[in-house]
């Protein structure tokens, strides 16, 4: 299901990039570390009609993937934004092609493409959700829970989120913090929809240990092995009853096709940043849907910009499982948009205003900015 009606072209006058530091309401711990402040790059595309906003979802360090703030900053300012400004007038669907010669750097590309898309759709008065092919006006909201001090603290934290109305829980695991943590949550809350996410912390040698998780009837185990371990994921999948879901490994629609063919993914986590943009994310959705593989929308602790875009993406028909599209308050006491995403009866609404359907809180944006550059044509 490609984009039904392309967006009109836009003329690019410049790009403004900012690095933001936004405090998290509580530390977020995964198998690769703890974040207390979200470092993220916000992109503003300057066009004659309207500004467009995007977000580059890298982290400060290359721990989730090879990209990180300063790599994205450098490649965006040195190569990607200049190539787009040289093209000057283009349709948002042409952005990926202009950036294609530059290998990798998918999160940086995704952030720029989103800003161009937002500008184009705002100028047309069209909503991003309608453009992508959304079929729902709200999406069920799951929450990703970081590793806590101990299983009791994890149970407390999960209980709080269930009380808020989140419809699905995902807990982060790592070696030494897997079976006991999962057991504690199952014991405390019974048959809630529950997933675990290892962020590549295991190897195939851990298959027996990971098979112990089978008794918890998890919805899935997310990315147990390394990003490039497709064959090992397929081997692991044959030894587990728990469905294997890939996150880090799925860097494109082609990678999704390959993973499915190998039997490495029974479920796919779709993240626009990881695959180079929302348009490629739609293609990942499409190949999975054609193959009968359910998908869900992942998260990268997005600000109100990326969170609005994710809600729209998660409203596509193949997103049959609740994603990590939580309320802004899950991570932030103060967001950079005037109306941050809220949880309503376990759902997050898909914005309907022009473009991403958000307005930037300029004061908050300025308060959180630690670095800023304007590139004009
Ligand atoms: O945005 O709710 C969110 C975060 C969801 O757990 C989450 N993301 O591997 O799926 C994942 C992690 C990656 C985040 S590390 C910065
Ligand atoms: Mg993940």
Per-residue pLDDT tens over the stretch 328-377: 999 999 999 999 999 999 999 999 999 999 999 999 999 999 999 999 99
Active site positions, annotated: 172, 271
Q: How far is the CA of 304 from the centre of ligand 2 (A)?
A: 20
CB within 8 A of 31, min separation 6: which ones?
147, 172, 173, 174, 175, 198, 199, 200, 201
Dist. CA 62–CA 32, nearest whole Å: 10
Residue 169 phi/psi, 5° resolution?
-115, 135
Residue spans of alpha helices (H) in 219-361: 230-239, 253-262, 272-275, 278-291, 304-313
Pocket lining: 118 vs ligand 1, CB cutoff 6 Å: no
Dist. CA 46–CA 217, nearest whole Å: 49
Q: What is the per-residue pLDDT for 3?
A: 84
Spacing of C-alpha 237 from chain mean position: 24
Query: Does position 188 have pLDDT exceeding 70, yes or no?
Result: yes
Please compute the mean of the pLDDT values over residues 244-268 and round it to a whole number. 98
Pocket lining: 301 vs ligand 1, CB cutoff 6 Å: yes
E-assigned strands of the chain?
Answer: 10-11, 14-30, 33-46, 52-56, 89-90, 138-140, 142-145, 168-172, 194-197, 220-222, 244-246, 267-270, 295-297, 347-349, 369-376
Q: What is the per-residue pLDDT for 4?
A: 86
Dist. CA 309–CA 117, nearest whole Å: 11
Q: Which atom of ligand 1 is nearest to the CA of 271?
A: 10
Q: What is the per-residue pLDDT for 152?
A: 98
Pocket lining: 250 vs ligand 1, CB cutoff 6 Å: no
Residue listed under structure tokens 């371990």: 229
Pick from 58, 145, 161, 199 the residue to mutate for probing ligand 1's pocket: most ligand atoms within 8 Å of its CB: 199
Neighbours of 374 (CB within 10 A): 11
């Amino acid at each position: 299901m490609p984009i039904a009606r392309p967006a009109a072209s836009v003329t690019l006058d410049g790009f403004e990039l900012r690095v933001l530091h936004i405090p998290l309401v509580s530390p977020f711990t995964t198998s690769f570390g703890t974040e207390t402040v979200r470092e993220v790059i916000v992109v503003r595309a300057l066009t004659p009609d309207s500004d467009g906003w995007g977000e580059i979802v890298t982290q400060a360090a290359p721990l989730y993937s090879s990209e990180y703030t300063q790599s994205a900053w450098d490649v965006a300012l040195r190569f990607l934004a200049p190539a787009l400004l040289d093209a000057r007038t283009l349709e948002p669907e042409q952005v990926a092609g202009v950036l294609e010669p530059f290998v990798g750097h998918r999160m940086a590309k995704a952030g720029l493409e989103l800003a161009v898309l937002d500008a184009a759709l705002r100028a047309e008065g069209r909503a991003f959700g309608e453009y992508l092919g959304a079929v729902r006006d709200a999406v069920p909201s799951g929450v990703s829970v970081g590793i806590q001090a101990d299983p009791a603290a994890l149970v407390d934290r999960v209980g709080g989120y269930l009380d808020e109305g989140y419809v699905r829980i995902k807990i982060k695991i790592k070696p030494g913090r897997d079976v006991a943590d999962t057991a504690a949550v199952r014991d405390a809350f019974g048959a809630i929809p529950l997933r675990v996410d290892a962020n590549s912390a295991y190897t195939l040698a851990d298959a027996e240990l990971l098979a112990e998780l089978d008794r918890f009837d998890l919805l899935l185990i997310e990315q147990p092995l390394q990003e490039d371990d497709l064959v090992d994921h397929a081997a692991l999948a044959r030894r587990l009853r728990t469905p294997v879901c890939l996150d880090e490994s799925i860097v494109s629609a082609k990678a999704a096709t390959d993973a499915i063919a190998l039997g490495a993914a029974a479920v796919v986590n779709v993240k626009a940043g990881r695959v180079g943009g929302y348009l490629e994310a739609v293609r990942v959705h499409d190949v999975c849907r054609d193959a009968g593989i359910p998908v869900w929308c992942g998260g990268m602790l997005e600000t109100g910009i990326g969170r609005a875009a994710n809600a729209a993406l998660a409203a596509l028909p193949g997103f049959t499982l609740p994603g990590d599209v939580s309320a802004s308050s899950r991570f932030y006491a103060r967001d950079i948009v005037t109306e941050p995403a809220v949880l309503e009866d376990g759902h997050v609404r898909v914005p309907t205003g022009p473009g991403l359907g958000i307005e930037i809180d300029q004061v908050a944006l300025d308060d959180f900015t630690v670095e800023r550059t304007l590139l004009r044509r």
